[in-house]
Chains A and B, each alone.
Chain A
């Protein structure tokens, strides 16, 4: 285990200031860990050492010159490979974009780097974020650092694994139906999906534009808050970004004495919720109560409708968003004898099976006639779900749920698309409503020995509540923050 790989953002900042280590040493150390581990994990699709060392040297120069440091100065960061970073490949783990080199940079990436972050590289994911296991990547799977026979979750599996394995201090992922929180749960990482609009989506390859949101993976809640401070804020390039200027670290030490925290009893009776996850959930609730929170039962009566609404809205938006991949300006191109043939061949070769399914589904759902029967009802269901949350949050300051009904599964274990979709049962409704949610690792499963996460959900645009609850509960959690991969591990 490398001496730097467990450091948090605050320790890095203080260590750099004190001259205990340099940013270059941190970068070198991070790439050492990647060299040792990533051949097994395969979290990264591309490494950017030149960029990283240049950024590290800039941080060291700033320290030497006594200049102020950004809040993420010297912090090794990895970015999901659906985030454009000028001069790097942005593949979305798809053959479609295998050779695409970004000519521009996503706002969230630019902000993280402007804050002094050191870019290690781009991480693996489900193709175009379509999946919950990172198995649909064209470039091969990412393995869960806790058990290399198991998936890291998805779609941001590479970003989760990079942090879980100690390769990166922070990473950014994107979450359309659980793609940050569920891999966070599977890999034992703090994984935050902020409220829709808190982080700019500009430059992040879109899946479901009304559902997508960028957020951080970290090894502790404070690091996630630092990351959110760096990447959030109104972006003139994203119409849906929110004008909110908040210090998300401000209330982390405030405790939760007197806070009202909601639980949803009906959601704890679902088929597929394993007993160890349910048990860990109940223990966490007891701890929250022990910390002085008032536990209040709330109802989300339309939560069951969220999955079908999601699998209508997501594919519709995805179909439209992915229409641009036509081989003309960028992307995989076949040699068709005419344009139509080239369109069909390029897209047939460039997209994997899951992408094709979702595109096809979306194209059907938006057809006239079908649209009124599925798309419009799905948007009405969104209204109901949003109202459910609004009503629940009149009574409570946060709601806790399991993040995933089970711990990480083995490769190939869940192959039927409809079953795979169920692994997002606890996360999806939050995307539909646009609220924020965070996975906090709370236990290792008593049966599986694998990380189990608690999901903390906040009122829309009150993500500081989530972080505050997480920071309090975190003090009572005692599980390793870096997967025990190098100690002989499980595989």
Chain B
């Protein structure tokens, strides 16, 4: 198969995403008052409603409706006031009523969009639009709708290999998850590269996390994506036949699955074949997609308005009450970080994308100047994040106090310690929660910035090496390094290079 970038020279990929997010931060399910809890003993969070017992009736969770309206406001959607829940019929044992309660032609949130900023690295796959000075580009992705529905239960397949459905002898059904509120976002087919798909998912995840409506754990399945992809020749406006990639559970799999699927489709089309409309499954290990199901005809879900659920007629008051809960979103926060702290776009974006990190940064950076803020940003983005990732923890779970990190940043900014020493102090800060100022003192790390002492040493050195002073003044300016090295040596490596450099130059220039 050809490489993706090569394929994309000739073909345009048309990609749409369906992103499901469980509203895990709510206390109870969508239509009953059973608790939402991941990992509870099977079937202990069930009741007549979520078990689909005969006679049970659904009652919508107000907080779930508020959450989806919040999601809609955060993604520039119109909030649809008049909506109804529908029943979507299909028989499957994880769906207790054998229909899913979802929304019909009108969802709570319609016609939204997100703007993506692709960095130079992510932009490489996109061949058809001009890039900015930094090598990146921005693109707007339309959001068709976000609708409210309920999740299914969980099935475990026994007797087959690796818990797979094929070959299984029997299956177990646990309805704890059944009825968990789920919001499904459907994009317009506006995405053109796997990187854009990844960027969209990352951005959406940042937004949902900022809103606090879901824990967005792709591992545990509380955030999952299906991707539709089709190809068309560059310049064509007709849509090709699409295939669907189901239940992708990481950003990498989303990217790699789509990339594979684009290359596979190109190979089929270029060898004169046709794409079948089918659902495929990405196998990360084997790095390929395999067919799950061929769709010969459109599924007929027998959808109709659910008579058990009163229609919605959301009031302006309801919507405004939600709007006031809208927190500062990552884009706005990024702009503010650039404005208020003088951070470069990249740093501001990295910090603003994570609620905890952003809060930590702001606490550390309060009452500091831009130079220190930049140092704090560097420490968080490069060092603390790496450590948190390695240890699968988060910044808030660490021992680091924002004020301590600010002290460390200050020591670095005013050159009291070198960046190499900074790493040592940070390690101690993470491990033992030390006070950076005291640590630097007690470990004799303070760099000499005593200009008098440095001037004296430089004076002695010049007196001892008149030939070198002569040579320097004759044009061999490289000899500055010799004097610096000697000063540093005499200071036992604790000298401040900037200060020394300035004094040496001044004296030599005489």
Binding site for B on A (CB under 8 A): 82-84, 90, 92, 97, 100, 103-104, 106, 201-206, 208-210, 236-240, 316-317, 319-320, 323-326, 328-330, 339, 343, 363, 366-368, 371, 375
Contact = CB atoms under 8 A, between A and B. Distances in A.
Given A205-B54, A239-B59, A366 B307 contact: no
Contact of B173 (A84, A323, A328): A328
Contact of B304 (A236, A240, A316, A323): A316
B267 interface: no
Interface in B253-312: 298, 300, 302-304, 306-310
Contacts of A367: 300, 302
A317 B54 contact: no
A317 B307 contact: yes
Interface string B51-73: 11111111110000000000000
Nearest to B171: A339
Q: Main SS of chain B's interface residues?
A: loop
Interface stretch (B91-99, B182-190, B224-232): B91-99
B55 A106 contact: yes
B87 interface: yes
Contacts of A363: 302
A202 B59 CA distance: 11
B343 to A, nearest CB: 50
- Name the residue among A92, A329, A339 with the largest chain B CB count within 10 angstroms: A329
Contact of A329 (B52, B58, B87): B52
13 contacts: A103-B53, A201-B57, A206-B54, A237-B57, A238-B57, A238-B308, A316-B304, A323-B97, A328-B173, A329-B96, A363-B302, A371-B302, A375-B304
Q: Main SS of chain A's interface residues?
A: loop
B164 to A, nearest CB: 15
Given A209-B307, A363-B302, A371-B304, A323 B91 contact: yes
B433 interface: no
A366 B60 CA distance: 24
A105 B365 CA distance: 59
B485 interface: no
Contacts of B93: 326, 328, 339
The 7 closest A-B pairs by CB, nearest first: A210-B307, A323-B98, A366-B302, A209-B307, A205-B54, A203-B55, A324-B52
B99 A240 contact: no
Given A84-B53, A240-B308, 5 more contacts: A202-B55, A202-B56, A317-B307, A325-B54, A326-B91
Contact of A203 (B56, B97, B303, B306): B56
B342 interface: no
A82 B302 contact: no
Given A239-B59, A323-B99, A330 B53 contact: yes
A317 B307 CA distance: 8
A97 B54 contact: yes
Contact of A239 (B47, B54, B57, B173): B57
A309 to B, nearest CB: 14
- Name the residue among B55, B87, B93 with the largest chain A CB count within 10 angstroms: B55
B167 interface: no
A324 B171 CA distance: 18
A166 B155 CA distance: 51
B306 to A, nearest CB: 8
A229 to B, nearest CB: 23
Interface string B25-60: 000000000000000000000011001111111111
Contacts of A238: 57, 59, 308
Nearest to A238: B57
A368 B60 CA distance: 27
B89 interface: yes
A320 B304 contact: yes
A430 B308 CA distance: 19
B308 A239 contact: yes
Given A237-B59, A343-B91, A324 B307 contact: no
Contacts of B173: 328
- Name the residue among A204, A206, A208, A236 with the largest chain B CB count within 10 angstroms: A206
A328 B152 CA distance: 14
B86 to A, nearest CB: 10
A103 B55 contact: no
B96 A324 contact: yes
A429 to B, nearest CB: 18
A201 B492 CA distance: 86
A320 B57 contact: no
A41 B188 CA distance: 64
B28 to A, nearest CB: 13
A447 B33 CA distance: 57
Contacts of A210: 307
Contact of A202 (B57, B87, B99, B298): B57
Given A240-B308, A323-B98, A329-B96, A90 B54 contact: yes
Contacts of A83: 55
Nearest to A379: B305
Interface string B137-181: 000000000000000000000000000000000010100000000
A320 B89 contact: yes
- Name the residue among A320, A343, A366 with the largest chain B CB count within 10 angstroms: A320
